[in-house]
Chain A
Amino acid sequence: MNFSQWLSTVKLKWAIFRSDDRLIVIALAGFVGVCSGLAAVALNRALHHLGDFAHGLHHHWWAFVLPAAGASLSALFLNTLLKERAGHGVPEVVYAVSRYGGLLRFRSSYSRLISSWLTIGSGGSAGPEAPVVMSGAALGSNIAKYFSLKERQRITLVGCGAAGAIAAIFNAPITGLVFTVEVVLGEWRAFNIIPIAIASVAGTEVSRLLQGNQIAFGHRQYSIGLADIGASFGIVVLATIVSVIFGRLLNSMHHIASRPNLPHWLRPAVGGAAVGIIAIYLPQVLGEGYGAIQDMIHGNFTAGLTIAVVAVMAKMVATALTLGWGGSGGIFAPSLMVGSLLGLVYYRLLVMLVPSGAIAGEGCFALLGMAGLVSGILQAPLTGIFLVVEITGSYEVILPLIIVSALTSTFCYYIEPGSFYLRDLIEKGQYMRPGTDARVLSDLSVRELVETDYLTVPGNMLLKEFIEVIQQSRKFLFPVEDYADARYLGIIFIDRIRPYLFDTQMHTVLMAEQVMETNVPQVTPDDELVDVLNIMENARLSSLPVVENGRFVGMLSKSVLLDHYRKELIVQTGI
């Protein structure tokens, strides 16, 4: 190869290099991870401070009002001050990713942080993970917007934000990565993995730098024997039951709360006050509960079995009260706590039946319970497994862990349609994973597919003239319009008018209006393709008229749809 040929190859390679979308995403991923990590650390610190402050006030008789006040303030802040109609964090991110390529409002990057700080810091029973994920995702989205990135790149950065946030909160990079892929993005793609991994690591590093290499829960060693593996099946059953109950409780509390007609800032106060009252007897239900979880894992939970059982239910009720009545926060941390309590209870029941040396300690079962709940209610088994492994550093637990996670999430899947986060979306039919039929169809639209090159005939055209029209045309159907106001009337199908075509006596007697079909279902240009396809199936038609405002626009045919569908699917799931 001579010099000029070599030069042109190099130029081509450079152009491809520059046009590759992945590079700028990789470059920004670290930055996004750092930002979301900072947000997570900030919330964590702020919660500690506010929590300590609130704790100092607990001996007063009016302390039960604190969660109420916090929840009210957070609702006021969110809805009145920022006018951000709250979705619930993670579902909103999933919705934005699946429908709009991850477009999130900028205000979401700080609004949830502040509102959940108010709710949780004052004692509300909720988790800080969902708000931090939302913040991180919004940060990623807006950084992508600042750099005018394309949709695919923006989605990746949203994932980076979420991963960095979770990684920072738990000091667990792999968990951040797995959570993002499993819950937020829903797909594992070569395009996404590197940037998300970078963001996870960045978030973790930020957290370690600012908070030290402490994790929420310390390292432990456990020795797992066959008996423990057998015992884990028991946890599966319990975790499944409790996950389902927890989910249903949250939903029904939401319904109960929407019935009384309270101003939107007063409603959370009711829930918060109830939580405060519960807390008088069981102070462990307040806040996110990391402290209690830590105790349980280290085997330091001193309260008795009955209290533990009551605590399980109380925590679930408290969380439902906080969140169902309008407080701001997530269910991740409460699930962890309920799970560990569950594991604890199970262990204590088990030791009554089995000599205590045979099975591993209380802490181990608390961990298994945690993983079980996460897998059950979030239906994210991998996240559960990796979370426990990373935060406790104990790899021996992996075998019972896998059993518990996988089985619990499978059983819960049979009972509930999907993860708690996504239930709303699934119910509304808005849950779309990339590369699925619904996703492909949501990108296409009737407007893009409609063929407009059809010749229309006026209703009063005689069959004789119509035959000449057929002669000149290549089509098999002809839309008919009213001769006066061009309103769409119906369609003439060539194959259905055969009897009249060859009867010359009818030629001067029949008009287009009389031989057309009028009951062909119509669609408008704004209809959803899923509905259009259903209509086509039910009516057994391969082509439907598209009518807007009474005027014929064009025909939508299955063959054109198939062609576009294939190309869209290829491009959507491609590299």
Chain B
Amino acid sequence: MEERLLHVFRNTPLGRETLLQSLYFCNTLKVGLHIYVPQTTQFLMYFDHDAVQVDLDSSYMTLPDCAQAHAAELAKQYGLTPTFFTPKNFTASQLPDIPSNFNYMCCPRSITDLSSKLGLGYIGPKVRRIVKSSTFPVFLTSGVFKGWKSVAVFYGGSSNANKALSWGLHLSRISGFPLDMVTSVREHSDDYFDQELQEAGLYDAVEQHVRHWHKIAESPFEAHLYNVPHDALLVLGAYGHGLIKDLLFGSKMETIQSWMPNNILLVGPNCGFRGA
């Protein structure tokens, strides 16, 4: 069946940019767009092991009467018909339940705080919790709409990174855009990454499909991120290994998200492997 992306619509110019990102994403990847126009400032998402209460920033409730019309109009320009989602179950009268059985979700970097915090380096706590619990990747949009023309996977060799790579390969295949990989090779031997790829069964796919594999050996790692194209969609796994690291995001991920203004697809620890 068709895959679905959940988008929570903010009826402001900022929200318009985010919706344009989602529309482009859905159009490129042939994914159905499901839009939730909030009727209350809070909602609950029930995942397998967590119930995340999202308290939306008040700008999400701007002019609710014309919100749906605005969204539909934007979608029409892309030739897409979105499905407008109305919640059926409520935990409390002002607290609708939003299902979590989507395939993607679009989030700005912060969903609960003021728009002023939408800069680099900040990912809101609720967004982090969603990424941690969700079985689907989260599409973190940059502030202004830019159509991405390639996919760049940040590969670190861990099982999460393998998952992210599988998603990157899938996106590249469906969209037809080229796929690059970026790795910091400073801490590992040369064949470490090849070995990991072999074990994950991704080696052949990488050989065939990847355009450039930027292996960055110098430090600081981030200074050389300039090589990543400005119009690339970044794909990365969201958690490092180990218990302590698991409590916070893996540190590479923090670096990347504070340096790169691109759109990012975060593949959380509960996401599955994306098969061919």
With A83-B55, A548-B32, A549-B32 already in contact, the answer to whether A103 and B94 are too (CB < 8 A) is: no
A103 with B46: CB separation less than 8 A: yes
B1 with A553: CB separation less than 8 A: yes
In the complex, per-residue mask of B46-58: 1 if CB is within 8 Å of any chain A CB, else 0: 1011110101000
A85 with B49: CB separation less than 8 A: no
Q: Which residues of B contact A96 (CB under 8 A)?
A: 51, 91
Q: Classify the secondary structure of A's interface with B.
A: loop
With A85-B92, A85-B95 already in contact, the answer to whether A100 and B46 are too (CB < 8 A) is: yes
- The yes or no answer to B190 lying at the interface (CB within 8 A) is no
- The yes or no answer to B251 lying at the interface (CB within 8 A) is no
- The yes or no answer to B198 lying at the interface (CB within 8 A) is no
Complex formed: what's the CA distance from A84 to B94 in Å?
A: 10
With A83-B55, A100-B46, A549-B32 already in contact, the answer to whether A452 and B88 are too (CB < 8 A) is: no
Q: Which of B191-234 contact A (CB under 8 A)?
A: none
> How many whole Å from A432's CB to the nearest CB in chain B?
11
A148 with B49: CB separation less than 8 A: yes
> How many whole Å from B242's CB to the nearest CB in chain A?
16
> How many whole Å from B86's CB to the nearest CB in chain A?
10
B88 with A548: CB separation less than 8 A: no
Q: Which residues of A contact B46 (CB under 8 A)?
A: 99-100, 103
Complex formed: what's the CA distance from A450 to B101 in Å?
A: 16
Complex formed: what's the CA distance from A100 to B46 in Å?
A: 7
Among A85, A428, A550, residue most surrounded by chain B Cβ atoms (within 10 Å): A85
- The listed residue (B1, B49, B83, B92) touching A145 by CB distance below 8 A is B49
Q: Which of A531-565 contact B (CB under 8 A)?
A: 548-551, 553-554
B89 with A549: CB separation less than 8 A: no
In the complex, per-residue mask of B79-95: 1 if CB is within 8 Å of any chain A CB, else 0: 00101010011111111
- The yes or no answer to A528 lying at the interface (CB within 8 A) is yes
- The yes or no answer to B187 lying at the interface (CB within 8 A) is no
Q: Which of A413-467 contact B (CB under 8 A)?
A: 428, 430, 445, 447, 450, 452
Complex formed: what's the CA distance from A427 to B48 in Å?
A: 27
In the complex, per-residue mask of A130-156: 1 if CB is within 8 Å of any chain B CB, else 0: 000000000000000100100100000
B91 with A92: CB separation less than 8 A: yes
- The yes or no answer to A104 lying at the interface (CB within 8 A) is yes
- The yes or no answer to B42 lying at the interface (CB within 8 A) is yes
Q: Which residues of B contact A84 (CB under 8 A)?
A: 53
> How many whole Å from A309's CB to the nearest CB in chain B?
36
- The yes or no answer to A525 lying at the interface (CB within 8 A) is yes
B1 with A85: CB separation less than 8 A: no
Q: Which residues of B contact A551 (CB under 8 A)?
A: 2
> How many whole Å from A493's CB to the nearest CB in chain B?
24
In the complex, per-residue mask of A72-113: 1 if CB is within 8 Å of any chain B CB, else 0: 000000000001111100001001100110011101000000
Q: Which residues of B contact A86 (CB under 8 A)?
A: 92
Q: Which of A149-195 contact B (CB under 8 A)?
A: 151
With A104-B51, A525-B1 already in contact, the answer to whether A549 and B81 are too (CB < 8 A) is: yes
> How many whole Å from A213's CB to the nearest CB in chain B?
38
Residues of A within 8 A of B (CB): 83-87, 92, 95-96, 99-100, 103-105, 107, 145, 148, 151, 428, 430, 445, 447, 450, 452, 525-526, 528, 548-551, 553-554
A-B contact pairs, 23 of them (CB 8 A): A83-B53, A83-B55, A85-B91, A85-B93, A85-B94, A86-B92, A87-B92, A95-B91, A96-B91, A99-B46, A99-B97, A100-B51, A105-B53, A145-B50, A151-B48, A428-B90, A447-B1, A447-B101, A525-B1, A528-B88, A548-B83, A549-B2, A549-B81
Residues of B within 8 A of A (CB): 1-2, 32, 42, 44, 46, 48-51, 53, 55, 81, 83, 85, 88-95, 97, 101
By Cβ-Cβ distance, the 4 closest A-B pairs, closest first, are A87-B92, A103-B51, A85-B95, A85-B92
